[in-house]
Amino acid sequence: MFLKLYDDAQKESIELLLTALKAENLSFELIETAEYKLIHLPKINRDYDVQRFINDASVEKVIPIFSNMPQQKPLKANDPSKRFTSKIMDIMPLYIAGPCSVESEAQMHAIAKIIKASKAQVLRGGAFKPRTSPYSFQGLKESGLKILADTAKLHKLLSISEIVSENDIDLFIKHGIDIIQVGARNMQNFSLLKALGKIDKPILLKRGFVNTVEEWLMSAEYLLHHGNPNVILCERGIRTFEPSTRTTLDIGGALVAKSKTHLPVIFDPSHAAGDFRLVENLSLAGFAAGLDGFMVEVHQNPIKALSDGAQSLKPERYLTLMKKIKEHY
């Protein structure tokens, strides 16, 4: 990292800056030539708030180059010796399917039959829905969790549902939800991540739609750092300038995440596309890219769905898609 000093920076103010750096135990070198004055700080890494030096009277520019440092990587998310403690983490490719929201017992039983027949392993269903509008369906809450868990068990499927508050962790455990989903909107809810780090249930961590891959990995790192090694990453589309899809499925970003960690990386074509007509080909693209599985929304009667009907596949389309995936990948 370099600090470029003003050409006319006063000797006294440079001295003050050097004294401050010494007081912080930072190693540095002052480089003065006829053309420029620089301070080189070789040991500063990317965690350090380097931009604050701009407040110093003699600093014209902060040049955050870390060329002689290895690129900072998540502490544990790239450690292959970090063992998963849940067997669920070994089920790859992972096929997760089901409605956006749990709506009723009858709905879940009917859809669970389809999901089981498709040979997917996990039944999804939201009970705590993080809706953009407070007037939209908010989910059946605890009774939704119970319906999902009971239905999944009955059909010998695993269950997954989204959590929105650490206050609900006990409910998810009480009802035996197998995988806890952290949604895009909560990817950087650090108090939730810390709390989920203290349990050992697998966590599906969706990428926030305005977050970089690095931020996503750092959120995974919170879970690992606080003690939960069982983390599955899920790319679900990011917001770009393109309005013709709900978001842009960032397969490249998912591949970068995969190259940087030992964690499985799956994708969600439904929330990315926002349109059921795109879901099949996006799914094939994700599997062709070598991702570790997917999560897809399926509903018996999408037109009547209480949330995300537009992107939900009808059972027949879903079954055809699963057949294709199993044939080709």
Q: Exposed/middle/buried for 15, CB within 10 Å: 0-12, 13-18, 19+? A: exposed
Residue written as token pair 């537009």: 310
Collect all residues with Cβ–Cβ distance below 8 Å to 136 and sequence separation of at least 6: 129, 307
Collect all residues with Cβ–Cβ distance below 8 Å to 77 and sequence separation of at least 6: 217, 220, 221, 224, 231, 260, 261, 262, 263
Residue ranges that bind Mn ion, judged by CB under 5 A: 100, 308
With respect to ligand PEP, which residue has the nearer C-beta, 126 or 302?
Answer: 126
Tokens for 18?
């050097």
What residue 125 binds from ligand PEP, Mn ion, none (CB within 5 to 8 A, per partner kind)? none
Beta bridge partners of 203: 180, 231
Residue ranges that bind ligand PEP, judged by CB under 6 A: 100, 126, 130, 162, 183-185, 206, 236, 268, 271
What residue 109 binds from Mn ion, ligand PEP, none (CB within 5 to 8 A, per partner kind)? none
What residue 206 binds from ligand PEP, Mn ion, none (CB within 5 to 8 A, per partner kind)? ligand PEP
Cβ 48 to ligand PEP shortest distance, Å: 32
- The Cα–Cα gap between 308 and 300 comes to 13
With respect to ligand PEP, which residue has the nearer C-beta, 179 or 322?
Answer: 179
What residue 178 binds from Mn ion, ligand PEP, none (CB within 5 to 8 A, per partner kind)? none
CA-based radius of gyration for the chain:
24
With respect to Mn ion, which residue has the nearer C-beta, 99 or 293?
Answer: 99
Cβ 276 to ligand PEP shortest distance, Å: 15
Cβ 127 to ligand PEP shortest distance, Å: 10
With respect to ligand PEP, which residue has the nearer C-beta, 206 or 258?
Answer: 206
Four-CA torsion 145, 147, 149, 154, nearest 10 degrees: 180
With respect to ligand PEP, which residue has the nearer C-beta, 186 or 228?
Answer: 186
Cβ 168 to ligand PEP shortest distance, Å: 15
Beta bridge partners of 206: 234
Cβ 98 to ligand PEP shortest distance, Å: 10
What residue 184 binds from ligand PEP, Mn ion, none (CB within 5 to 8 A, per partner kind)? ligand PEP
Q: How far apart are the first and last CA of the chain?
A: 46
Cβ 237 to ligand PEP shortest distance, Å: 7
Nearest alpha-carbon partner for 60 in 25, 36, 84? 36
With respect to Mn ion, which residue has the nearer C-beta, 1 or 160?
Answer: 160
